[in-house]
Amino acid sequence: TPSLNIQTDKSTRVKQSEQVKESSTVVTKQKSEASQKRKEVSPNVTKVVKRVQKPKLANYRVKKGDTLSTIAVALGMPLKELKSLNKIDKKFTIKVGQTLKVPLRLAKNLKKLEEERVKREKRIALKKEKEKKLKAQLKKGFYIVKKGDSLSKIAKITNLSITQLREYNRIARSKKIKVGQKLLLKEQRVARKGSRSLNYLKNIKFKHAPQLKFKRKIRVVATAYTSHRNQTDRTPFLAAWNNRIRPGMKIIAVSVDLIRRYGLTNGVKVKITGLPGYYVVRDKMNKRLRNHIDIYMGINKRKALRWGRRRVALYW
C-alpha cells in the first residue's frame, strides 16, 4: 500500500506540472498576439496624431501699435505658442507690415484687436484736440474749469501759484471753483474804472525817456522817503537786494504785491507821471502796504514833504 500511494502522488505532481506548462504557453501566445496587433495598429495611430497636430493657419499683417503680447491676448493663445509658430526668437521684434501665421480657428478674435486700435486712435485724437484748445485758452489768458479740476491742478497746467490764481480771480479761501467757470491768468487783466487793474499799451514813448518803450500801465499810490533812520531802518543807505543807494539816484521802493503780481522786481525801469526821466526799482516796502510805491528823495526832507501823497500812473 505505501508503494501505491507514492506512485499516485508522483502521477498527480506530473499532471500538475504539465497543466502549468500548458497555461504558461497559452499566456505567452496571447502576449505575442497582442504585441503583433499593436505593431500593426501603431503606424495608423501615429499618422492620425500627426494630422491633428497640423492646424490650419491664416495670415495676419502687423499694424501700427501692435505687439506680440497684444496679438496673443486678442487671439486667446499663449505667447510662447505664437512665437514658436512664427519661429521668433526672444530678441526679435515685429515690424509694421510683417505677416504672422495665426491659427485659422482663432483668427476671428483679431476683430477685437482692430476695435481696440480704433478706440485708441480716437482717444489720442481727442487728447490732441484738448491740448490744442488748452493752448489757445492759455494764449488768450484764461482757463475754463472742467470736471475734476482743482486750483492746484490748474496751477500746474498754467505755471502759476494757487495764491496768484486766487488774487487774479478774487477767489476767497472759503469759496470753491465751479465747472465752466472762466479763470483769468496774469496776462488777462481787464482795466475797470476806479480799479488798479493792469492795462496793456502799444509801445508808448515819453519826451523825458525817448530811449524806452513802455507796454504796461497801472494806477498806484505814490509817497516819498529819504535816507533818515526814522523813515527807513538802522542802515538808511542800504536798500533791499543789498543795493547801496546815495542822494541823487532816481530809484523807487515798491510794495510786495506789485513784485508778485506784475514782476516789478530789482532793476525794472519805470516812468512816473509828473516826474521827468525814468526811475529804477531798487527797494521794497513794508508787507502791510498794497499797490504802493515810495520815491527816493535823497536827504531832502522838505522835497519829500512837498510831494506828500499822490495817485500816479506807473509805466514799465
Mean pLDDT in residue range 26-34 = 65
Q: Are residue 279 and residue 311 in the same domain, yes or no?
A: yes
Task: Give the structural domain span for 133.
Answer: 121-184
Task: Return the pLDDT at 250.
Answer: 93
Mean pLDDT in residue range 251-267 = 91
Flag whether 15 is in a domain: no
Q: Are residue 62 and residue 42 in the same domain, yes or no?
A: no
Q: Are residue 75 and residue 46 in the same domain, yes or no?
A: no
Task: Return the pLDDT at 224.
Answer: 94
pLDDT at 193 over 50: no
This prediction's pTM: 0.40
Q: Are residue 231 and residue 305 in the same domain, yes or no?
A: yes
The values of phi and psi at residue 75, to 5°, are -75, -30
CATH code where residue 107 lies: 3.10.350.10
Q: Are residue 210 and residue 311 in the same domain, yes or no?
A: yes
pLDDT at 119 over 90: no
pLDDT at 252 over 90: yes
pLDDT at 120 over 90: no
Q: Are residue 236 and residue 272 in the same domain, yes or no?
A: yes
Tally of domains in the chain: 4
C-alpha–C-alpha distance, residues 131 and 154, integer Å:
14
Task: Return the pLDDT at 50.
Answer: 46
Of 286, 292, 290, the residue nearest 311 (C-alpha): 292
Q: Are residue 207 and residue 292 in the same domain, yes or no?
A: yes
144 DSSP β-pair partners: 182
Pairing of strands 269-272, 199-206: unpaired
Flag whether 80 is in a domain: yes
